[in-house]
């Protein structure tokens, strides 16, 4: 990924307080949406929607897609790279 792409993604994340808080909440760990929601004070459905957007941008990955409950999310290498700028 080149610098232009990285800075485009940094801008994308910074444009939303929710995206920024969720990436920071996950950090270099693994979390479920309800834990993220509780930590940052959002409703779980909002967190799930933002996680879907971040996943589409390849910033987070779901480790157990088939699970209906207790889906585990972690930041990708790109997500961790973006965190350095936040």
CA-based torsion, 79, 83, 1, 9: positive or negative: positive
DSSP-assigned beta bridge partners for residue 85: none
- Residues of the domain holding 29: 3-83
Question: What CATH number did the domain enclosing 19 receive?
Answer: 1.10.10.10
Tokens, residue 59: 């910033």
Pair of tokens at residue 19: 């995206």
pLDDT (0 to 100) of residue 45: 95
* Domains in the chain, number: 1
pLDDT in tens, 1-15: 788 899 999 999 999
pLDDT band at 37; cut points 50, 70, 90: very high
Question: Do the Cβ atoms of 42 and 19 come closer than 8 Å?
Answer: no
- pTM higher than the cut 0.85: yes
């Amino acid at each position: 990924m080149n610098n232009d792409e990285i800075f485009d993604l940094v801008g994308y994340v910074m444009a939303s307080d929710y995206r920024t808080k969720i990436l920071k909440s996950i950090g270099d760990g693994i979390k479920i949406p309800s834990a993220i929601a509780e930590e940052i004070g959002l409703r779980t459905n909002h967190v799930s929607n933002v996680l879907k957007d971040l996943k589409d941008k390849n910033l987070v990955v779901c480790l157990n897609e088939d699970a209906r409950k207790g889906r585990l999310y972690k930041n990708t290498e790109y997500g961790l790279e973006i965190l350095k700028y936040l």
